[in-house]
Structure 1
């Protein structure tokens, strides 16, 4: 499954993402996933920022409750456990490699950036480095694409199907 092109985003979406991040959102090209209330959950970012910097993370998890929940998994050592599972399970490793390839295809369909060719996000295809990036990919691509992101999403205790947004941060 490939996500781009993304549905149009609004100025309100960019305001919400900026508030979620606590800084101005940069080079937004779409909202790749939303909370049930409509608030942005994953932003899609241009692979080369306006200032020329290569930016490999196409799918960036922005929702505050989601980032906190995933941070708890990381703080409790889940990345190391998932990395060990990845090394021990060839079928899981193959599905994770396929997720990496899909991520690259999505990003390159937006813009090919030579400096980041072959690099996806979250440690793919052989490591588990950032659960935030992997959960962002799972939310953007849908279930079944990124097995590690899917596991982290299922385990983190947060769901886009249950709104945890602050009242002033809810979508339309």
Structure 2
């Protein structure tokens, strides 16, 4: 099962994402996850940027409160625990590998880029490298696809159910 197509990004969405990132948003192809207020939480980015640069991270976490929470969780050292569990639990490893395949299938909807063939995000399918990417994936596709992303999201001190947007970055 793959997720695209996404809700299209409006000009306002792109302005909000640019404000969230503190730079111009690049090659936005949709908004796969939103805050309860409607503001973008995750942006979908083209697999090849307009500049020609390959970009493997389809699901990019942009919400400042979510990214700060993911950073705090990473700093707690939990990624090493997740990594150890991947090595000890064959069912978890299989589910994580399936999440990787799902991610690749989702990105393939927007074209194949040879330079990033087989590369998803967050360390999938065998490592836990970036909780921002894994949480972004879970928020975009919903629970039950990415077990590490789901767990990290549950352990964050941020919730997609509570608006923590800056007043000028709230959705409609």
Give the unaligned 5+ runs of structure 1: none
Q: CA deviation at 1:160?
A: 1.1
| Alignment coverage as a number of residue pairs | 172
Runs of 4+ in 1 over 2 A off after TM superposition: none
Q: Is 2:111 the counterpart of 1:141?
A: no
Residue 169 of structure 2 is matched in structure 1 by 169
Q: CA deviation at 1:103?
A: 0.1
- For 2:166 and 2:107, locate their aligned partners in 1 and report how far apart those are by CA, in whole Å: 31
Q: Is 2:55 the counterpart of 1:59?
A: no
Residue 16 of structure 2 is matched in structure 1 by 16
So what's the TM-score if we normalise by structure 2?
A: 0.99
CA contact (8 A) 1:4 1:110 kept: no
Which deviations, in whole Å up to 9, do the C-alpha atoms of 1:82-129 show, x marking residues without a partner?
Answer: 001111100000000000000000001111101100000000000000
- For 1:54 and 1:114, locate their aligned partners in 2 and report how far apart those are by CA, in whole Å: 9
Q: Is 2:92 the counterpart of 1:92?
A: yes
Residue 83 of structure 2 is matched in structure 1 by 83
Residue 151 of structure 2 is matched in structure 1 by 151
- For 1:157 and 1:147, locate their aligned partners in 2 and report how far apart those are by CA, in whole Å: 18
Q: CA deviation at 1:4?
A: 1.1
CA-atom RMSD in angstroms = 0.6
- For 2:12 and 2:55, locate their aligned partners in 1 and report how far apart those are by CA, in whole Å: 23
- For 1:93 and 1:67, locate their aligned partners in 2 and report how far apart those are by CA, in whole Å: 25
- For 1:6 and 1:143, locate their aligned partners in 2 and report how far apart those are by CA, in whole Å: 17
Which deviations, in whole Å up to 9, do the C-alpha atoms of 1:10-30 show, x marking residues without a partner?
Answer: 100000000000000000000
Give the unaligned 5+ runs of structure 2: none
Residue 6 of structure 2 is matched in structure 1 by 6
SS at match of 1:54: coil
So what's the TM-score if we normalise by structure 1?
A: 0.99
